[in-house]
């Protein structure tokens, strides 16, 4: 007996990421799941008709990308403020901020995001003096691209009321606060968005994901955002599957409620507890074993010591909660791995799929130990394209030997480590990340296109306990897939960044269709 489908896609070049059936030409969808996949004859034999039939004209189809590390809701919120990602100097940033002032009433926080001085000619941070020249009647906060450094104006500094003698408050040559604040705990909680802004941010963030072919995203967000994600789900506004990583400060409440990782619905789940052990390379706060090349007295910041971190790990493991630990510098990574090595029951580490987020400076010895423990490396290949190129940020911060040994994808895979790929929103776009990973400036650590796609699909699904329903195009799994303008599996890797997303399907529903030129 033949079955009526909700959707049939045919005349397609489908890469399934299923080793038993790696390629197909058509697929059918029923009740949000893949009903059948294979050649067009096989589909016709099973399916009598479909409510919708799409001829893709030979276009390439991949499983929907799973971004293993985002701040998607925050990105949606930021989209309603000042975008400084394209400015090329401090002066250009100031002009853009000034031209946007009429969007804010007097006394309202003026917020800007994504500035990156490593792309600027003068390569200096924005400081309070820059912002005071624009306005003294608005508090201002301009957040660097990595989120680990903000610049506030004088009025903003007064409104924040933070102790000015604490670590992370940068001083000028006269000993006065410069307006630059590095990794100040709770800084963003002092400038909270409204409830309306957060809900709008959920919807806007989902649209950002869909435009890049992302059908599932791990959102590192404040615990309070869960209610807005749930509200969006109830109102049928979620167009991306969301996994929320609540901050470690909420672990006590999560344990008391009996909440564990993976709880939730097909569209919204609880992930792991997010822990910070260091800052960022751009802010000079990633904890490194050698000092920074451009700041010999600085070796970054450990945001907690090994004793405190180990206590958190043991609590999480005892209560079956996954941890996702931010560790960028090699010193922070060493503390994380050593702490896991001290755990007596090593089987629970692998079973609970604990993760190291970023791991930019992980070395081969650390990789082998992490792989042996079953730790997942949640890495961001787009950092290579953005900062590891000749003349980039990494070269400013570190010597050539260190730079060549960063983002060691090939070494990690060859040593049996599991890698989940994400973007951290810098920038979003798995195609950019795949291009970065396959054209890494160190040819010894480049990976293949198929490996990079797998890290953005099956491996990212595994990292969030979703591999049974997502990550590959197999009968019974969710019908999440992306249609690309080019066959990235066959074109030279250098051309992958020229490919684009044409359609994004979630559960067989087209959530994004590129405008035709």
0.75 surpassed by pTM: yes
- Cα-Cα-Cα-Cα torsion 501, 507, 512, 516, nearest 10 degrees, comes to 70
Angle at 355 (CA atoms; ends 228, 20), nearest 5 degrees: 95
Q: 101-104, long-range: CB within 8 Å, 24+ apart, which pairs?
A: 101/134, 101/135, 101/138, 104/138
CA atoms in the 13 A half-sphere facing the CB of 252: 2
Strand arrangement, sheet containing 65-70: 65-70, 214-220, 241-245, 268-270
Report the interhelical angle of 430-438 vs 449-456 (nearest 10°): 140
Contact (CB, 8 A) for 33 and 6:
no
Over its length of 517 residues, how does the chain's per-residue pLDDT go in tens digits?
688 999 999 999 999 999 999 999 999 999 999 999 999 998 988 888 899 999 999 999 999 999 999 999 999 999 989 999 899 999 999 999 999 999 998 888 999 998 999 889 888 999 999 999 999 999 999 999 888 899 999 999 999 988 888 888 999 888 899 999 998 888 888 888 899 999 999 999 999 999 999 999 999 998 899 999 999 999 999 999 999 999 999 999 999 999 888 899 999 999 999 999 999 999 899 999 999 998 898 999 999 999 999 999 999 999 999 999 999 999 999 999 999 999 999 999 999 999 999 999 999 999 999 999 999 999 999 999 999 988 899 999 999 999 999 999 999 999 999 999 999 998 999 999 999 999 999 888 999 999 999 999 999 999 999 999 999 999 999 999 999 999 999 999 999 999 999 999 999 999 999 987 5
Distance CA 377, CA 434 (A): 16
Instruction: Convert the pLDDT of each residue in 228-275 to its tens digit.
Output: 999 999 999 999 999 999 999 999 999 999 988 889 999 999 999 999
Instruction: Convert the pLDDT of each residue in 179-226 to its tens digit.
Output: 999 988 888 888 888 999 999 999 999 999 999 999 999 999 988 999
Q: How far separated are the first and last CA of the chain, in Å rounded?
A: 43
DSSP 20: T
- What are the structural domains of the chain? 3-63+477-513 (2.30.40.10), 86-144+149-182 (3.10.310.70), 195-463 (3.20.20.140)
């Amino acid at each position: 007996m033949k079955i009526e489908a909700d959707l049939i896609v045919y005349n397609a070049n489908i890469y399934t990421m299923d080793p038993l059936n790696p390629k197909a030409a058509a697929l059918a969808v029923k009740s949000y799941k893949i009903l059948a996949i294979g050649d067009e004859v096989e589909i016709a034999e099973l399916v009598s008709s479909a409510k919708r039939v799409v001829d893709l004209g030979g276009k390439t189809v991949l499983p929907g990308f799973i971004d293993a590390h985002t701040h998607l809701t925050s990105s949606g919120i930021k989209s309603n403020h000042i975008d400084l990602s394209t400015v090329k100097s401090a002066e250009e940033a100031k002009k853009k901020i000034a031209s946007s002032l009429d969007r804010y009433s007097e006394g309202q926080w003026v917020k800007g995001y994504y500035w990156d001085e490593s792309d600027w000619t003068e390569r200096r941070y924005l400081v309070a003096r820059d912002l005071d020249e624009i306005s003294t009647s608005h508090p201002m906060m301009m957040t660097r691209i990595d989120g680990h450094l903000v610049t506030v104006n004088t009025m903003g500094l007064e409104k924040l009321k933070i102790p000015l003698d604490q670590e992370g408050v940068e001083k000028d040559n006269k000993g006065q606060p410069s307006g630059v604040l590095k990794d100040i705990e709770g800084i963003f909680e002092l400038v909270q968005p409204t409830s309306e802004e957060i809900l709008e941010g959920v919807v806007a963030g989902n649209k950002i994901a869909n435009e890049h072919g992302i059908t599932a995203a791990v959102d590192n967000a404040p615990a309070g955002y869960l209610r807005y994600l749930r509200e969006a789900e109830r109102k049928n506004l979620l167009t991306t599957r969301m996994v929320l990583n609540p901050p470690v400060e909420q672990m006590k409440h999560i344990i008391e409620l009996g909440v564990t990782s993976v709880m939730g619905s097909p569209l919204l789940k609880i992930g792991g507890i997010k822990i910070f052990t260091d800052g960022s390379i751009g802010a000079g706060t990633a904890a490194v074993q050698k000092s920074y090349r451009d700041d010999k007295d600085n070796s970054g910041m450990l945001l907690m010591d090994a004793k405190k971190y180990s206590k958190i790990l043991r609590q999480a493991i005892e209560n079956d909660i996954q941890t996702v630990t931010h560790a960028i510098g090699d010193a922070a990574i060493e503390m994380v791995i050593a702490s896991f090595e001290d755990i007596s029951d090593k089987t629970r580490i692998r079973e609970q799929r604990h993760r190291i987020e970023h791991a930019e400076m992980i070395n081969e010895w650390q990789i082998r130990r992490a792989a042996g423990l079953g730790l997942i490396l949640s890495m961001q290949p787009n950092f290579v394209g953005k900062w590891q190129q000749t003349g980039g940020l990494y070269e400013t911060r570190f010597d050539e030997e260190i730079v060549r040994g960063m983002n060691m994808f090939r070494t990690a895979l060859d040593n049996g480590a599991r890698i989940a790929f994400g973007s951290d929103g810098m920038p979003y776009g798995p195609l950019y990340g795949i291009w970065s990973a396959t054209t890494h400036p160190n040819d010894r650590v480049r990976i293949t296109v198929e490996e990079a796609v797998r890290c953005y699909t099956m491996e990212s699904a595994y990292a969030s306990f979703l591999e049974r329903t997502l990550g590959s195009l197999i009968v019974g799994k969710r019908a999440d897939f992306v249609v690309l303008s080019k066959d990235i599996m066959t074109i030279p890797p250098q051309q992958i960044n020229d490919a684009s997303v044409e359609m994004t399907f979630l559960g067989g529903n087209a959530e994004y269709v590129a405008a035709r030129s």
